[in-house]
Amino acid sequence: MKVGRRYAILLAVVVAAALSLIGARATPAAHASAKAVKLTIWSDNVQKPAIDRIASSWGTKRGVDVNVTFHAFGSIPGDLKTIKAENAPDVIVAAHDQTGDLAANGLVVPLFPSKALKKQFPKYALDSFSYGGRLYGAPYALENVGVVVNTRLVKVPKTFAQLEREALAFKHKSSDNLAIAVPQGSGGDAYHMYPFFSGLGGYVFGHARNGALLPNRIGVANKVFLRNASLIDKWNREGLINSKVDYGTAKNAWLKGKAAFWITGPWETDSLKSSGIRFRIIQMPKIKYRSVPFLGVQGTMVTKFAATHGVESLAKDLVANEMMKASFQLDLEQANQRFPANIVAGKRVSDPVLKQFGHAGLGGVPMPNIPQMGSVWSELGGAWVKSTKGSGATPARSAFASAARNIAAKIGGG
**Can you give the pLDDT at residue 336?**
78
Q: Which helix (H) or strand (E) holds 295?
A: strand 294-302
- Cα–Cα distance between 226 and 219 in angstroms, integer? 10
**Helix and strand element counts for the chain (H, E):** 19, 14
- Cα–Cα distance between 397 and 383 in angstroms, integer? 9
Q: Is residue 42 a contact partner of residue 73, using CB atoms and an 8 Å limit?
A: no
Per-residue pLDDT of the chain (414 residues; tens, 9 = 90+): 444 444 444 444 433 444 444 444 443 333 333 457 999 999 988 889 889 988 999 999 999 999 999 999 889 999 999 999 999 999 999 999 999 999 999 999 999 999 999 999 999 999 999 998 899 999 999 999 999 999 999 999 999 999 999 999 999 999 999 999 999 999 999 999 999 999 999 999 999 988 889 999 999 999 999 999 999 999 999 999 999 999 999 999 999 999 999 999 999 999 999 999 999 999 999 999 999 999 999 999 999 999 999 999 999 999 999 999 999 999 888 877 899 999 999 999 999 999 999 999 999 999 999 999 999 999 999 999 999 999 999 999 999 999 999 999 999 975
Burial 326-348 (b: 16+ CB within 10 A, else e): bebbbbbbebbbbbbbbeebbee
**Can you give the pLDDT at residue 334?**
80
Q: Is residue 243 a contact partner of residue 228, using CB atoms and an 8 Å limit?
A: no
> What's the helix, strand, coil split of the chain in %, to 5?
50, 15, 35
The DSSP letter of residue 35 is S
- Of 263, 285, 289, which Cα lies nearest the Cα of 200? 289
The CA dihedral of 196, 197, 200, 204, to the nearest 10 degrees, is -160
- Of 89, 95, 140, which Cα lies nearest the Cα of 113? 140
Q: Is residue 159 a contact partner of residue 257, using CB atoms and an 8 Å limit?
A: no
- Cα–Cα distance between 20 and 11 in angstroms, integer? 14
- Cα–Cα distance between 95 and 129 in angstroms, integer? 9
**Mode of pairing for the β-strands spanning 37-43 and 91-95:** parallel
What string of DSSP letters covers 224-271?
Answer: HHHHHTHHHHHHHHHTS--TT--HHHHHHHHHTTSBSEEEE-GGGHHH
Q: Is residue 281 a contact partner of residue 357, using CB atoms and an 8 Å limit?
A: yes
**Can you give the pLDDT at residue 45?**
86
Q: Is residue 106 a contact partner of residue 291, using CB atoms and an 8 Å limit?
A: no
- Of 359, 193, 348, 203, which Cα lies nearest the Cα of 280? 359
Q: How many Å separate Cα 254 from the centre of its chain?
A: 26
Q: Is residue 183 a contact partner of residue 247, using CB atoms and an 8 Å limit?
A: yes
What string of DSSP letters covers 203-228?
Answer: -SEEE-TTS-EEEEEE-TT-HHHHHH
**Can you give the pLDDT at residue 12?**
44
* CA atoms within 13 A of residue 211's CA, in its CB half-sphere: 16
**Can you give the pLDDT at residue 293?**
98
Burial class of residue 266, CB neighbours in 10 A (0-12, 13-18, 19+): buried
